[in-house]
Structure 1
């Protein structure tokens, strides 16, 4: 046998060896080649069902969303993850860089500037969103927050009073009671065709009391649905925080219990233990030993213990009666494990969505330059796909329609726009950049990459969230002003500061510790 025989078969072996061997052979034959397919007691709590993505989510979606929102309201750990995503994915927002070209001079700077200025004006509050409460950057941050907390968000494109605007809707506004429309299935309020492609969305309509009275079918081309999907068979969203919610909730309870324990320990509490006493003689429940009959104690009724509570005052000398001794109250357990548990929870919860512990906790106490830079690079690989998601699924969807509206209303004069709109829609988005950990090292590396044609100035500026054309134009204005004022001596002679030599990263080297740098 390739494994140890089971207890029952070992007991059966002396009595019926043939039967014992046959049972063991069948057990070996039925055993999977994969330990993950074990069906024994060790895998008792491991689910064996294999539903589709939508089947697995639809029964628990509302419950998990509610718990995720509860943690959003009450958990520091979850909010730290959301804020890390908001400030790094969206940051100060996305900058439009129009790329319209003319046949003679290349880029049409005049028209590009008009388009960019009109877009900036539209992105302000009161212009881009129907309630007037959000700018476009606020709206993008809301998308990130709701995608991670709720699993998704809906944006309705509306033409209100002749203005192209956006309306934010929560996924709760999808009417899940509708099951069919014509020959199409409606899954969770989303009408889909045979390819699971959204055809329309059924949105709840509320009365003045906030009660859903009916649902409105809105074609898919008027709705921007931004769900968090992980399987092709999913139709509706699921929050990516689902794996971490249980641990985060347990950690919150641990923190509350630890704080309560420390609060109790900060007050000196004591009890008086007695070796002797007088039985009160009161029959029934509540009998006990007291110094005197219950009737003799003021404030105590028949069968009730006397209200004996002493206040320990500073400088007081207390004499105990014979047979009494003092014992302090000290709750069992310790809070020394709270800090490592919190750190472990933050590390696990952050890693489940691709963030490092340092990005979530803002704790750099044990980071060196090399470890911080490596963690930062890994975090960037989490932020950049989310930035690209916003560009592909939101910005590039909104921008062509906005440009159509701006040309139709005369805000941007382009006479032949609708004859061939594609050349006028050319553009790029500059996402919010990140600061360098060590400016001297990064500047030197960028200079080398620029001189060896490994990077372009556009790429370097884009990493900082800047427009390279605006940088060069501003530098031109500055140098012209310096020369005009006679302050240009040594203007072009400034050398790039030499980066300090790398030092080995070991446990005894504290010179590169980020705390020391701070």
Structure 2
């Protein structure tokens, strides 16, 4: 028995030393049993649609979440990007620009919507649903491209068909996304109309080739199929913030009500018109004469001096989790100086540029441009003999609107010094503002006031000190 006891003790010590050597494994008891993400892909698929519905509700009812979605959507798209064709032939590039501008002004199958407005809806879907689907539709009469925005619910998330890998077996379908044997996406299963639309179609989902669907999504895990809202992590905090705000408002209303309690200390005061609680009223400017043996007490009022700090801390956590600076989302610019504002905006701008290039451009704008060029060639409107031999010439880069400078004079001085020191080019600086250097040079050439005198004046201003600039 002693030997068995010693063996058990040794095994427990071994388990503590090697299995539970890290507190993260949970053997310390600090970690709840459900505090793990055991199957990220499956758990994301199971929670994604519910998360989007709750975030959508908060977007329409929570002022802070609504502000975050609005600022992120505006930062991502603004009034829309500018396309710059890469073709070296000026005539072909000009033709592609004209085709792009015509498509830009009226891109939606619904009609009368510019690409900037359409992309704003895409960015909003990316924030709320974690994904956005666009269908490329070709008008058979005009051979023009149109876009149809699909809701995330239009992709049949209930359609999941496993594949056994046998010859002639059905393809693998996960949450409405069909895969080939090599893992590539080949099709999507799409409902004709949104399931929540009035008089929605009851027809089953139909198969749409992946070439005609643009799926804008940020995959968080390898192998993930669908997206999840980036606000999922902060949604619980936003709900707590709503509850705390409601409670604070109720508390302030109760505190604003002045009330008192008249007590009979000795218990010998007879009730009459002056002492009957039903007849006592406290009014502004009134003086109550109480009989001997009575006193007045007031209900205790809880301290609320720290409520604002707690709520502000929660708001900062929500903004940090969403990637939007607190002073932007909350509109609190009281404590923001130039350095703090520039530092906060720099991180936000880098995040916005990453989403623009990695998702908006790569997953949506590039396929749109390729289809647009293809239709121009197939319709005969564009003579492109090198289209098949040199496809890289028919690509484009997209320039999004730039960010307004916090201090325009300091930014202009910094850009001028960077160009003079050959650390940056004019094209780089102009592209930051979402414009093409060719357009800017053409405007300067047509401007009769763009002469050397203005250039020398700009150089003199750049060389001025801060004090000289303020006194000028």
TM range (shorter): 0.7 to 0.9
SS in 1 for 2:191: strand
> Mapping of 1:405-424 within 5 angstroms?
405-409=375-379, 412-414=381-383, 416=385, 422=391
Deviations 1:52-93, CA, capped at 9 Å, x for gaps: x32121222222122111111111221222222222221121
> Which stretches in structure 1 are left out of the alignment for 5+ residues?
1-15, 103-107, 279-289, 293-305, 504-518
Q: Distance in 1 between matches of 2:104 and 2:346?
A: 30
Instruction: Tell me which residue corresponds to 1:468.
Output: 437
2:229 is the alignment partner of 1:250: no
- Give the corresponding residue for 1:185: 172
Is residue 117 from structure 1 mapped to residue 98 from structure 2 by the alignment? yes
The root-mean-square deviation of aligned C-alpha atoms, in Å, is: 3.4
Kept after mapping to 1: 8 A contact 2:79/2:117: no
Q: Secondary structure at the match of 1:202?
A: strand
1:429 counterpart = 2:398:
yes
In structure 2, list runs of 5 or more residues that go unmatched: 163-168, 468-472
Match of 2:178, SS?
strand
Is 1:32 the equivalent of 2:13?
Answer: no
Q: In the alignment, which residue of structure 2 is the partner of 1:173?
A: 154
Q: Distance in 1 between matches of 2:158 and 2:278?
A: 62
Q: Is the 8 A contact 1:461 1:467 kept in 2?
A: yes
Give the SS at the match of 2:214: strand
Aligned residue number for residue 491 of structure 1: 454
Q: Which structure has the bigger radius of gyration? A: 1
Structure with higher helix content:
2
Distance 1:499 1:243, change over 3 A: farther
Q: Which moved more, 1:263-272 or 1:17-26?
A: 17-26
3-state SS of 1:172 partner:
helix
Residue 152 (structure 1) aligned with residue 101 (structure 2): no
Residue 377 of structure 1 corresponds to 346
**1:89/1:432 contact within 8 Å kept:** no
Q: Distance in 1 between matches of 2:326 and 2:198?
A: 46
Query: Structure 1 residue 263: deviation in Å?
Result: 2.4
TM-score normalised over the length of structure 1? 0.76
Distance, in Å, in 2 between the alignment partners of 1:150 and 1:273 is: 60
- Aligned equivalent of 1:9: none
In structure 2, what is the equivalent of residue 392 of structure 1? 362
| Corresponding residue SS for 2:173 | strand
Query: For the structure 1 residues 309 and 413, does the alpha-carbon distance in structure 2 shift closer, same or farther, using more than 3 Å as the test?
Result: farther
- Structural mapping, 1:47-446, within 5 Å: 47-48=35-36, 50-51=38-39, 53-102=40-89, 108=90, 110-124=91-105, 127-132=106-111, 134-160=113-139, 162=141, 163-180=144-161, 183-206=170-193, 209-210=199-200, 212-274=202-264, 308=278, 312-320=282-290, 325-334=295-304, 336-388=305-357, 389-409=359-379, 412-414=381-383, 416=385, 422=391, 425-446=394-415
Inter-partner Cα distance in structure 2 for 1:179 and 1:152: 19
Aligned-pair CA distance for 1:417:
7.0
- Alpha-carbon shift at residue 128 of structure 1 (Å): 0.7
Pairs within 5 Å for 1:477-516: 477-478=446-447, 481-482=448-449, 490-496=453-459, 497-498=461-462
Q: Per-residue displacement from partner, 1:465-499 (whole Å, max 9, x unpaired)? A: 22211111111221xx349xxxx694343133247
Do the aligned partners of residues 28 and 427 (structure 1) sit closer, same or farther apart at CA in structure 2, a change above 3 Å counting? closer
**Larger relative contact order (Cα-Cα within 8 Å, sequence gap ≥ 6):** 2
How many corresponding residue pairs? Answer: 447
- Assess, with a 3 A threshold, how the Cα gap between structure 1 residues 260 and 501 changes in structure 2: closer, same or farther: farther
Q: Is the 8 A contact 1:273 1:326 kept in 2?
A: yes
Per-residue CA deviation, residues 278-300 of structure 1 (Å, 9 max, x unaligned), is 9xxxxxxxxxxx969xxxxxxxx
